[in-house]
Chains A and B, each alone.
Chain A
Amino acid sequence: MSVLDVRGVRKQFDDHEVLRGVDLSVNQHEVVVLIGASGSGKSTLLRTINLIERVDDGQILLNGDDITDPGMNADSARSRIGVVFQHFNLFPHLRVIDNITLAAREVHGMSKADATERAMKLLVSLGLGDKARDYPDRLSGGQQQRVAIIRAVLTDPELLLLDEITSALDPQLVGEVLDLVRRLKTDGSTILMATHEMSFAREVADRIVFMQGGRIVEQGTPAQIFDSPQEPETVQFLSRVRH
């Protein structure tokens, strides 16, 4: 059974149809990368999966549970999914360690000592151990984004959503964030990510999904999509991003 099962999802803002019937599934330990131009619906798809946007039609199943069912507790569904945003969205009034352990303590009922121990282990292994007591604004963008990733994965979410997590970073800081994503893949995380980093997508993805105009145009292994794309839209998009 797949971790995530998106079935015929539609989303409309006013007159604009952003998602026009998207079907997508993500299997356990799989890394699926969404590519496509801005406005193709990648971010909106991630937002509907995290229940930040309500779908206008279709279904989203998380390990078999229909999280678009009105009877479903949205908070508990969200707590099973980790999300990292383009602009980090750390809480500026909380120290790094409190940012990371907040959900563990307040949502998952973990004791403060346990949560802190887990968080420190991760921070130290990423060379951020000395930043635990700092406030987020003292950290570089790359450090902040890595803290945001630790915050999202601390409670072992069933699915991790990464929404263009390197787009707001200076080029020399992108590497450290991508290293962490590689590590998450090695550790067996199930990841659905949207990105503009094509070479990274090619390297890390088990499957590439190309979206345009709110639809999935084509999907396949990185080799299939990047080396022998079948659809004319895919060919056109790839020729544009390669220049």
Chain B
Amino acid sequence: MSTSTSTPSWRPSELELSRRNVRRRATGRSVLIGIVSTIAFATIVGLLIVNTPGWESVKASFFNFEVGAASVPSILVGLWLNIQVLFISAIGVAIFGTLLAVTRSLRGPVFFPLRAAATIYTDLFRGMPLLIVLYLVGFGLPALDIFPRMPAMFWGTIALILTYSAYVAEVLRAGMEAVHPSQRMAARSLGLSHAKTLRIVVIPQGVRKVVPALMNDFVSMQKDVGLISILGAVDAVRAAQIQVAQSYNFTPYVIAALLFVAMSWPMIRLTDWLTARLAKREQIGGVV
């Protein structure tokens, strides 16, 4: 709905043209200042780093082109495992997180135990470091000897789902509570049950309100899938570690880092774009 992008049906007046001219010149000046200061800043930082006493050895051990190039294929194979874990975890989190959010929003004394359990769960898992959850789930649960032998990536996925569901549940609950009560009233007045009201009216509107926050959690999960390496799964981080151990060079870590960034970059940009779009819609075209 932005007015600046639509083509006007009239010829702009002299006054408007002169205003645009002034604005364009001001913008040009700002951009120029921005470019110059960015280049100056980058040059200074670059010079400072290059002139540190240890730069030569850091360069050799972190930015070695041959070692880096050689490590790419095996790290990519590892990254594929991360992507699979991410995909399955995201689905698991969507389901389990929604269940938790709905449970926490149940009303009435009958549901007190369920509601309390969900509250304790979200408190617990939002407070516990993911690393410790990974250890407890990855080494503790198999030790019970009641589960069939499962690969490390399986337990890693479970740990991710357990932790992230707690965060996502809270975000979803905030969204559901932001839906105006009159919507719930209208749905119930039509004879819809509590469950159908949640499914058809409250959850779809609530999710819409928290899409940027949910996507942020997803971006955060994209890098946390790298932590499953501590359970022994040969993912991108573990593959890089193996390369480092073989070459006595840290470049594979840098490569893995760049690949993780490349993996999450589209989602990060999409989140930003969507957040900006939602903000624009809510401000209805204001300039402030």
Q: Which residues of A contact B (CB under 8 A)?
A: 50, 52, 75-76, 78-81, 83, 85, 87, 89-93, 102-103, 106-108, 151-152
Contact = CB atoms under 8 A, between A and B. Distances in A.
B186 A79 contact: no
Nearest to A78: B191
Interface SS majority for chain B: helix
Interface in B157-213: 182-183, 185-193, 196, 200-201, 204-205, 208
Interface residues of B, number: 17
B205 A93 contact: yes
A176 to B, nearest CB: 21
Contact of A106 (B185, B189, B196, B208): B196
15 contacts: A75-B191, A76-B191, A78-B188, A79-B190, A79-B191, A80-B191, A83-B190, A85-B182, A87-B182, A91-B186, A102-B190, A106-B192, A106-B200, A107-B191, A152-B190
Contacts of A81: 189
A52 B188 contact: yes
Contact of B185 (A79, A80, A89, A93): A89
Contacts of B205: 91-93
Given A78-B190, A83-B189, A89 B182 contact: yes
A91 B187 CA distance: 9
Nearest to A87: B182
Nearest to A47: B185
Given A89-B182, A89-B183, A106-B196, A151 B204 contact: no
Contacts of A90: 186
B188 A103 contact: no
Nearest to B185: A52
The 4 A-B pairs at the shortest CB distance, nearest first, are namely A79-B191, A89-B186, A103-B190, A107-B191
B201 A91 contact: yes
Contacts of B189: 50, 52, 78, 81, 83
Contact of B183 (A79, A91, A102, A151): A91
Contacts of A93: 204-205, 208
A4 to B, nearest CB: 16
Interface in B193-239: 193, 196, 200-201, 204-205, 208
A103 B187 CA distance: 8
A78 B191 CA distance: 5
Contacts of A83: 186, 189-190
